Amino acid sequence: MIQRIFLPGLAAGALLFAGCAAQNAAPAPGFQQIVSEAGGKVFPAVVYIQVVTGNLKSGRAQNDVVSGSGVLITPDGELLSNWHVVDKAQSIRCLLNDGRAFTAKVVGLDKDLDLSLLKLDLPEGTPPLPYAAIDYEDRLTEGDFVMAMGAPWGLNRSVSIGIVSCASRYLPEGTYSLWYQTDASISPGNSGGPLVNTDGKVVGINTLGMLMGGTVGFSIPAPTIRDALPRLREYGKVNWAWLGFQLQPLRDFNRDIYFDFPDGVIVSGTEPGSPARKAGFLPNDRIVAIDGKPVTVGTNEEMPGFRRMLGLLPFGKPVAFTVVREGETVVIDAAPVAKGEVEGEEVSCPRWGFTAKAINRFDTPNLHYYRNSGVYIYGVSDFGNAAQAELRPNDILVSIDGEPVNTPAELETLYRKAMERLDTNPKATFAVLRNGRMIQRVMDFSNDYEKE
């Protein structure tokens, strides 16, 4: 049963999703008042965000306008949203609940958490803004009522209500965090808006919604935000530490893998050149303690928390790992390094009809397998010169006219030289690596498809 509840003082309705067992039950006394008061504490702090982004995915540089949501968390204009809402933003405009509009700038971004911290550009003398309190305690349980606020489908000032379906949902996309799963409606445009409890506090940031025979939505939990927020303010990113472990929980139902150990986490492998490999970790090592503190990752649901703990270790400081190897206990010291950029630098080559990006072990692990550095074709224009030459996205650029391509800067130099000889020799030979096979393609770029 779907019952629409109109909250006093709120412009949009809230959807109450009742379970099968409660379909005929009357609402608890005072429930609507509880929801209304809780929503009223946060709703004035909800922000509609409109972003102009630079997009190279189509094979040429173009501007797109996207929208999302956010929530003010300080009276001087700090707000939380998603990374994917403001990624590659060229301009950001924010509409407050009271109708005022401000531009904003990015303070910090983290792709791994899909989290962003923004700051409104407020004129001097602006009175304190309404803001929402965050409940950083991990107290949500299945069945708790929550509200999802934001601007679904660009319809600002909207709120929906549901329950927490799962308080610790594991998704492979969540490297460092579990998710709150809710049946409160989270649609495109809700991204970045707050998930709110019945106390009127933010307990998560809405990130992902799917229609799977009903509404399934996911939010970043407040405890994860608590760990990330100070780093976003200080560094402009979380600045994750990296050791290069490939890890396996003790029990994995989906893979039908079960280790008969009471504690620890299994090392299934290490990345080439990583601190873990240099320190001597081997497949099937079982880490049972870090700096003397016992660790156990029994299931996939416990893995993001363990990775987050590793990711927040200080750079360059050796960490003592207690490891069980073939029945013997050994201690291995390894010093984490900065994870670095998780996405490669982008380049646009409009006359050639493609865009390119630097290979990155985190963003493109399938290409990093073939080359641990270099440049690959990111997007190809449908009717451009690259398409005519049968170049494809994910082709790794090895050389152009015999000149090696190892960095985006080298590609830009070769493109500039090609444009300088456009009138005399508008052809180029591309050597690319495609699915591990070396192939060559000759491009005639005498036609300017951008103008046609």
Q: Are 181 and 234 in contact (CB under 8 A)?
A: no
Q: Are 132 and 201 in contact (CB under 8 A)?
A: yes
**What residue segments make up the domains of the chain, in order of their start?**
1-238, 241-338, 346-444
Token digits of residue 431: 């050597």
What is 346-444's CATH number, 2.160.20.60, 1.10.287.110, 2.30.42.10, 3.20.20.70? 2.30.42.10
158 is a catalytic site residue: no
Cα atoms in the 13 Å half-sphere on the side-chain side of 156: 19
Catalytic residue among 112, 114, 183, 285: 114
E strand map for 271-306: 286-290, 293-294
Identity (one letter) of the amino acid at 94? Answer: C
For residues 179 and 174, give the distance between their C-alpha atoms in angstroms, rounded to a whole number.
Answer: 8
Domain 1-238 has CATH 2.30.30.280: no
Instruction: Report H helices in 195-321.
Output: 222-235, 275-279, 303-311
For residues 349 and 371, give the distance between their C-alpha atoms in angstroms, rounded to a whole number.
Answer: 22
Catalytic residue among 58, 84, 138, 399: 84
260 is a catalytic site residue: no
For residues 181 and 163, give the distance between their C-alpha atoms in angstroms, rounded to a whole number.
Answer: 9
135 is a catalytic site residue: no
CATH of region 241-338: 2.30.42.10
Place of tokens 């929503």: 39
Catalytic residue among 187, 191, 274, 381: 191
Domains 241-338 and 346-444 share a fold: yes
Written as tens digits, the pLDDT of the chain (452 aa) is 223 333 333 333 333 333 333 444 555 557 888 888 888 999 999 999 999 987 666 666 667 888 999 999 999 999 999 999 999 888 999 999 999 999 999 999 999 999 999 999 999 999 999 999 999 987 899 999 999 999 888 777 788 999 999 999 998 878 899 999 999 988 888 899 999 999 999 999 999 876 544 578 999 999 999 999 999 999 999 989 999 999 999 998 888 888 889 999 999 999 888 999 999 999 999 999 999 999 999 999 999 999 999 999 999 999 999 999 999 999 999 999 988 776 778 888 999 999 999 998 888 888 988 888 899 999 998 889 999 999 999 999 999 999 999 999 999 999 999 999 999 999 999 999 999 999 999 999 999 877 65
| CA angle, 302 then 303 then 309, to 5° | 100
Number of Cβ within a 10 Å radius of residue 37: 16
Q: What is the pTM of this model?
A: 0.78
